[in-house]
Structure 1
Amino acid sequence: MTSFIPSITLPGFIFEQPAASILLPVLLGSGVGFAMQPKETQKTHLALKQPPYRPPPQIFGIMWPILYGLMGFSAYRAWTTGMNTFDAHKTQLAKVRHTAYPNSATLLTGWREQQGATLYTIQLGLNLIWMPLFFKYQRPIEATVDIVALTGVTGYLTYIWGQVDEVAGWALAPYLGWLCFATYLSAGAGYLNDWDFAGKERPAATKTHNTKYVDEKDA
């Protein structure tokens, strides 16, 4: 079981405030997206051979803010429920390893922060580095390893927070489902392009350029 690691965990006040908890991943995710320069990212995206069922690039810009918002809401729900419950089982799932209080009378006061907060911070970091790995540095192997790890951590987090608060667990479910699909897309694109994106680029979509991927043919 993952323990609370202060040095890599977001501070508690972020989880306590719903606005901060929801807006933080939205702003960080949007910031990384803009830093990657969407037009340049689209050049690489359209130049790659893609696996079946890949969505158009515009879908990602719609989906991710929603998923980031749900992620932040789940964090707020799990934190507030775990900090205020008198259910010892939920408290144990929501919070970190007991420090130095062996008896049940001090169980609720002997825990400092949510165990899930560390997992949440780890998955957020893994999420934010995927786009630079995939598009900026064009490292499909590392990007796929990253998203596989991200999906695993998020799956475990969903399991833990779902036991603390059902709403928190369900709020993470769409994000987890999308990560599974994104893992397929990342690995599929890597495999179809021989795990080498170097030099693969085409003009971004304009009125004079088509928006098809390189493996698509005109009808």
Structure 2
Amino acid sequence: MTTYIPSLTIPSVVLQHSAASVLLPIALGTAVGFGTRPSKTQKTYLALKQPPLRPPPWVFGPVWTVLYGVMGYASHRIATIGLRSSASPAIVETAQNSLTLYTVQLGLNLAWMPLFFVAKRPSEASIDIVTLIGMNAYLAYLWSSIDEVAAWCQVPYLGWLGFATYLCVGAGYLNGWDLHDKEVKEE
């Protein structure tokens, strides 16, 4: 069964192209953002009881765009440095495995918004985001053995994931883990 896992990886030809590796997560994140009906998402966000330090809704788009770009750049560095022909077999294997992990974490990241705002399942969204923190901490560890710059690129993402976890769990708790009736009513 584990022999199928590498087939989940974004193709190395995409990740070895700098623009493609940066733009792919940005495009996917943008598509998910627009696919979840932004005006309805914003109304739900504003209707929720939120923990202190909640940022205004307009902050999320620019922050995620930068974070997606930085994670794409980091994956590009790993693909070009870790998969080059002169790299040792151990480095190549670590790079391949870590790029599979990168792809899986990107999928989990993209699943969060529909889980929280469309399905209105804050429990599952909280599990998703806590899993993302663990995966990305391990990803930073793996990438540190290949390229320190790529590993350090994970630090802002991990910081934001920590803050987003606080917001997600806080909103879930303050709203009784049920968001189904949370939406600003149309006038």
TM range (shorter): over 0.9
Matches within 5 A, 1:1-219: 5-84=5-84, 86=86, 88=88, 92-96=90-94, 114-202=96-184
Matches of 1:138 and 1:22, distance apart in 2? 30
Matches of 1:93 and 1:189, distance apart in 2? 41
CA contact (8 A) 1:4 1:118 kept: no
CA contact (8 A) 2:81 2:87 kept: no
Q: Which amino acid aligns with 2:169?
A: A
Ranges in structure 2 where 5+ consecutive residues have no aligned partner: none
Partner of 1:217: none
Q: Which amino acid aligns with 2:57?
A: P
CA contact (8 A) 2:122 2:172 kept: yes
CA distances 1:99-149 after superposition (whole Å, capped 9, x unpaired): xxxxxxxxxxxxxx6111110011000000000000011001011001111
Secondary structure at the aligned position of 1:44 is classed as: helix
Deviation at 1:7, TM superposition (A): 2.5
* TM-score, length basis structure 2: 0.92
Q: Which amino acid aligns with 1:26?
A: I
CA contact (8 A) 2:172 2:178 kept: yes
Partner of 1:215: none
Q: Which amino acid aligns with 1:30?
A: T
Partner of 1:101: none
Matches of 2:115 and 2:74, distance apart in 1? 27
* TM-score, length basis structure 1: 0.79
Secondary structure at the aligned position of 1:5 is classed as: helix
Deviation at 1:87, TM superposition (A): 6.0
Q: Structure 1 pair 115/3, CA: closer, same or farther in 2 (3 Å)?
A: farther
Q: Which amino acid aligns with 1:79?
A: A
Q: Which amino acid aligns with 2:90?
A: Q
Matches of 2:87 and 2:28, distance apart in 1? 34
CA contact (8 A) 1:3 1:118 kept: no
Deviation at 1:15, TM superposition (A): 1.1
Question: Which protein has the bigger helix share?
Answer: 2
